[in-house]
Structure 1
Amino acid sequence: MNKKKILGASLGNCVHVGGVINFLQLAEQQGYDTFFLGPAVSVDELIGAIIESEPDIVAIGYRLTPETAAVLFSELKEKINRFNLKEKKFIFGGTQPTAEAARKSGLFSKIFNGSEHIDEIINFLKGTSASGAVEEYPDNLIDRIKSKYPHPIIRHHFGLPDLEQTIEGVKVLAESRVLDVISLAPDQNAQEFFFKRDKMNRALDGAGGVPVRTKQHFERLYEATRRGNYPLMRCYSGTNDIFKMAEMLLETINNAWAAIPLCWYNVLDGRGPRKLKESIKENQELMKWHGERGIPLEVNEAHHWSLRDAHDTIAVVMAYLAAYNAKKMGVKNYIAQYMFNTPPATSPTMDLAKMLAKIELIESLEDKDFITFRQVRAGLSSFPTDLDLAKGQLAASTYLSMAIKPHILHVVAYCEAHHAATPEDIIESCKIARGIIRNILNDMPDMLSDEKIQARKKELLEEASVLLDAIKNLNPHCDDPLSDAGTLAKAIEIGLLDAPHLKGNKWAKGLLQTRMINGACYAYDPQQGKILKEKERIARVKVE
């Protein structure tokens, strides 16, 4: 089948080409052949090019005065009639005043004035309207990603302490069309005691999220998404009765993908009563449950260690082990979350190096039965309480994380260090992120080739290999120690896997000390005042 052609030009005396070029690049991503005539193209030049190249669509840009635009449109209309070109589809992009002039001309079948969401433009290019019909918006994660990539789909966390306010907020977010995934935030009572409500501490209702208490509450929340751009909905797994929770989330909100830890949501972090080894086994079984049903999976593991100030090597190793265990359990579509700015003093250079090391290890596992998708986000603890500074942090982190070409952008509202995000906060934050994406997606500098980034990535991969070997050696007679719950639990219990914030935790060693040095997090010996390489650190761990 021949590709459809789009001919683009900035008309008359207009030299602004950014809008037309961006539109043509998006069209190419949707399978069109495109031709750009350049800036300040006269009406006669445009007519000649249309006759010569016979495009299906002619995309015209004009961003100067509407009065001049009206004159140009009148001339163009006359010559379209003269040369029998009325069967061509003409579309326009410009400012709101010039778009109004375009509307009055009656020339154009579609007019863009710069206020449109990316979804509307993609829908137009695919030949569908932007009326909001449900079939225009894929109802599953993988198709949603494919429909927009290289534009990442946008996700945001949402859950207010009041159920009715949360339902109304979901409606507002869906109607805004600024995000693709609403990540539902239930309160801690719901995560831990949804099926044992008599054990809930009612004084904690709404702490950390929305107090969902019945299956109908989840169904009402999902129903609230059935408008606007029909965002997908997802929710974290529970910390108790995890299989019953997974089944209910699938039935009620069509859980877009599951988020399951490997080593957490248990006595280690105090979010549940499960013992370490037993919880790892149960988490693995829950991964398998989702894999058998073809549900995409995220194992939110690596950043749990970085949030507790573990050094970068452990973060890289745990990112790999999370993906490794997901694959072992039969997961086919894996969502790898890359949390930037964690610990918050991490420099942009060292952040990218750490993420590249994670990517190389995780994506080495890919094959026809295991596909990975990159999800990026800013670290929550990196946001200042000053809301203006926080907006800068959101923009900076979004720009940096786009360097790894993510499939999903998990936006963190700029206000989160100050207050829980309202729908208005979320919409503003998503628009800030969209503005970054819109400006840099097609022509971003190649930061990843930086020598310091590559050197640190190499160092982390070497150090990660040493730690992975040490974990394997804990159980040399096991066929696969890296997916053995007992081996992984032992690695935590003896301190191969450790973090400063685990000090005093009876389920871990909590002896590791780390320091931020030149923007990277290292294992550190304060007595000797030096960085500890993994071989030396591991040699100090007592295998019991």
Structure 2
Amino acid sequence: MKKFLGAAIGNCVHVGGVVNFLRLAEDEGNTTEFLGAAVKIEKLINTIIEIKPHVVSVGYRLTPDAVRPLLNKLKNYIYEKNLKDIEWIFGGTKPVAEIAKEYDFFCKIFDGTEDLDEVINYLRGRNLKETVGNAPQNIIERIEGKYPYPVIRHHFGLPSFEDTYEGIKKIANAKVLDVISIGPDQNAQENFFTPEKMNHDLDGAGGVPLRKVEDFEKLYEASRRGNYPLLRCYSGTAEVFPFAQMLKNTINNAWCAVPLCWYNVLDGRGKREVLDSITESQQLMKWHADRNIPIEVNEAHHWSLRDAHDTIGVVMAYLAAYNAKKMGVKNYIAQYMFNVPPSMHPSMDLAKMLAKIELIESLEDENFKVYRQVRAGLASLSADLDVAKGQLASSTYLAMSIKPHIVHVVGFSEADHAAKSEDVIESCKIVRGVIRSTLHGMVDMTKEQVVENRKNELIEEVRILLNTIKSLYPESKDPFSDPKVLTAIIKRGIIDAPHLRGNKSAKGTLETRIVDGKCMPYSKILGRVVSEKERVTELLNDEMDKSFSA
């Protein structure tokens, strides 16, 4: 703990910067004293001699030429009174800060372009000259070093390898994010180890065409600059274990993102049957857990993106975390994708996320730690890029209500084109602006009664669905992690989504409607939305009728 003293000197009455800095210092456990505005140099020096602070923060935001005489006087007093051992900090506008750089007694100069995470790093004793030695290369350390400021992540992968390589350099040098998620094309995900199976007409479709181990190594090398962002990458959809090992060896994969029930015949992103892919995904979780690599199971939003109702989204969020814990994962990254479906009301969206959080974090213990990651829903962003920027900011503001550890920034350009490096940088700056405005005070929307009521309603519905799964498979020792049970409940429609209609591996009969901003199950027989109990009862009765008919 240190003692901080702050003041705006000379005739400067602009104290906002000093006050905010001292508030951040207090949040980090330090003691502070603020002298006020327009403080004379003599008063500042006398106070320093009296209270003996460890750090003195000097602010000045007026004319650059007017600050020089003040700093000259301050310099003379520092040497005359032997105050060089104090940690001197200056804050001002960019032109004034340029003058301050001429004075070697300042150990740090803030010019207003820094974001809160940089200030927090400074207060925690980290030199802001970013080098690989002091920029954590482990996601958990990166989170713990910044929180409550969240780690910033963005997806990046262009159809051209060279453009992706050069883009990563630009993004790293911009120092606007902490994690670059490499997006390989589908050919790479599915056939990296079997290139003879690739359809080269589809090269670059959905991401960057990575074809050699050296391609991954080169992208990692491109990130070794600026603030040394971590790299991570999608999991493979075939040969998943060699792919995982290759990611670990080449880009030091920050964490593994693996679905529980997808990347197979359900979504067409692979040729694996559902049972095989669930079994393999569980083993892939265990593979990473054995190597102490964090896991994200990007499961729940896959159902919501296909218009499954809210209860299914929450259940699958819980089952994803449950399976990760079962496989020995110690650090679990829970992704909360807002705005899916896009027509959900913000209050109901927030309630859904709070229900997920309550259930997922009920699994926490000394061996299982959960980190919250938020993002905007891709389909919610307009093709009008100016409108999309507003939507990205709005979604981020809502998501900050759950105090995330990671913000997965979705590029505002995605509805129009894959994000280029300049789009990534601008999107991250938009999000950082929102974070700056919310981190130290915002309306607590989680306490709204309508949100609380919906959250509790969802938890009750979730319990009904989970109990149904248990009761249907009493022979299973653990139905929530039994691949055969998970496969069966998709086939039977216990877990379903409207977009799966016609898929031979799913029931595909679920109907849903948005009512009062909630995504609800709908019965064509009853002609209205129904509760989860009603939905499951109707589904099982239909099964029974067909069984009797057969």
Q: Taking structure 2 as the reference length, what is the TM-score of the superposition?
A: 0.94
After TM superposition, give the deviation of residue 84 of structure 1 in Å. 4.2
Q: Distance in 2 between matches of 1:466 and 1:128?
A: 49
Letter of the 2:67 partner, please give it. Answer: A
Q: Aligned-pair distance for 1:86?
A: 3.7
Cα distance in 2 between the residues matched to 1:526 and 1:98: 69
Count of residues in Structure 1 that have an aligned counterpart in Structure 2:
542
The equivalent of 2:458 in structure 1 is 460
CA shift at 1:120, angstroms? 4.4
Aligned residue runs from structure 1 range 103-502, under 5 A: 103-104=101-102, 108-118=106-116, 120-502=118-500
Deviations 1:430-479 (A, max 9, x none): 11111111222112221211111111111111111111111111211222
Tell me whether 127-136 or 192-201 shows the greater mean CA deviation. Answer: 127-136
- Whole-Å Cα distance in 1 between the matches of residues 477 and 2 of structure 2? 54
User: Once the 2 structures are TM-superposed, how far is the Cα of residue 31 of structure 1 from its aligned partner?
Assistant: 4.8
In 1, are the aligned partners of 2:121 and 2:146 still within 8 Å (CA)? Answer: no
SS in 2 for 1:491: helix
Q: CA deviation at 1:351?
A: 1.3
Q: How far apart in 1 are the matches of 2:506 and 2:378?
A: 25
Does the 8 Å CA contact 1:117/1:177 hold for their aligned counterparts? Answer: no
Note if contact 1:7-1:36 (Cα within 8 Å) is conserved in structure 2: yes
SS of equivalent to 1:337 = strand
Segment drifting more, 115-124 vs 85-94: 115-124
Pairwise CA distance, 1:529 = 3.9
SS at match of 1:540: helix
Instruction: String of CA shifts for 1:87-140, please: whole Å, max 9, x gaps.
Output: 322211111122133334555332110123555434533444333321110111
| Cα-to-partner distance string for 1:409-447 (whole Å, 9 max, x where unaligned) | 100110000001100110111111111112221122212
Q: Distance in 2 between matches of 1:349 and 1:24?
A: 34
1:10–1:519: structure 2 CA closer, same or farther, 3 Å change rule? farther
Q: What whole-Å deviation, never above 9, does each CA across 1:169-204 have from its counterpart, x for those lacking one?
A: 111111111111010000000111111111111100
Residue 518 of structure 2 is matched in structure 1 by 520
- 1:301 corresponds to which letter in structure 2? E
In structure 2, distance between residues paired with 1:139 and 1:30: 23
Identity across the alignment (%): 61
Kept in 1, the 8 Å contact 2:117–2:149? The answer is no
1:152-180 deviation digits (Å, cap 9, x = unpaired): 11111011111111111111111111111
Provide the rounded CA distance (Å) in 1 between the counterparts of 2:16 and 2:307. Answer: 43
Structure 1 unaligned residues grouped into runs of 5+: none
Q: 2:72, 2:319 → 1: CA distance?
A: 64
Q: Matches of 1:433 and 1:245 in 2, distance apart?
A: 32
Q: What displacement does 1:75 show? A: 4.5
Q: Any conservation in 2 of the 1:474–1:487 contact (CA below 8 Å)?
A: no
| 2:27 equivalent to 1:32 | no
Cα RMSD, aligned residues only: 1.9
* Letter aligned with residue 462 of structure 1: E
CA contact 1:59–1:91 (8 Å) conserved in 2: yes
Is this contact kept in 1: 2:121–2:145, CA < 8 A?
no
Secondary structure at the aligned position of 2:454 is classed as helix
The offset of 1:371, in angstroms, is 0.2
C-alpha change, 1:72 and 1:381, in structure 2 (3 Å) is same
Match of 1:227, SS state, is coil
For residue 290 of structure 1, what is the amino acid of its counterpart? H
